[in-house]
Amino acid sequence: MAADARCQHVYIGAVMPAPDIDTRRKRLRFRSWHRGTREADLILGSFAEANLLGFDETRLDDYEALLDCPDADLFDWITARAAPPPEYDTDVTRLLLAFRFDPRAR
């Protein structure tokens, strides 16, 4: 019987339970602040700080999928050079596109 990837993680041959929602939020916040480009760090990190606490599991799934996208695609969507493909057209994506980074808020 195959294990649900979102429910269990394999670590050195042992099955470990999925992290609780707070741990998951912390990991997503870390990934948001450590993208590889300063611009992406500032946009996604600030967005995560402002929104992750209010996200349920479904929205966390949607946000995690966004973090798996290349920065170049995200920048095209944020700057309206391209529309997000249908699989990324979620409430979370629309929140990100409407989000405005405020350097004074940090």
Total of domains in the chain: 1
Burial of 77 (0-12, 13-18, 19+ CB in 10 A): buried
E strand map for 1-106: 8-11, 14-17
Which residue range forms the structural domain that includes residue 50? 19-105
User: Can you name the residues that pair with 9 across neighbouring β-strands?
Assistant: 16
Q: What is the pTM of this model?
A: 0.79
Instruction: Establish if 63 belongs to a structural domain.
Output: yes
Nearest of 52, 104, 99 to residue 78 by alpha carbon: 99
Q: How many other C-beta atoms are found inside a 10 Å radius of the C-beta of residue 84?
A: 19
The CATH number given to whatever domain includes residue 96 is 1.10.150.250
- pLDDT one-digit tens code per residue, 8-39: 555 666 666 777 899 999 999 999 999 988 99
C-alpha to C-alpha distance for 54 and 67, rounded to whole angstroms: 17
Instruction: Establish if 32 belongs to a structural domain.
Output: yes
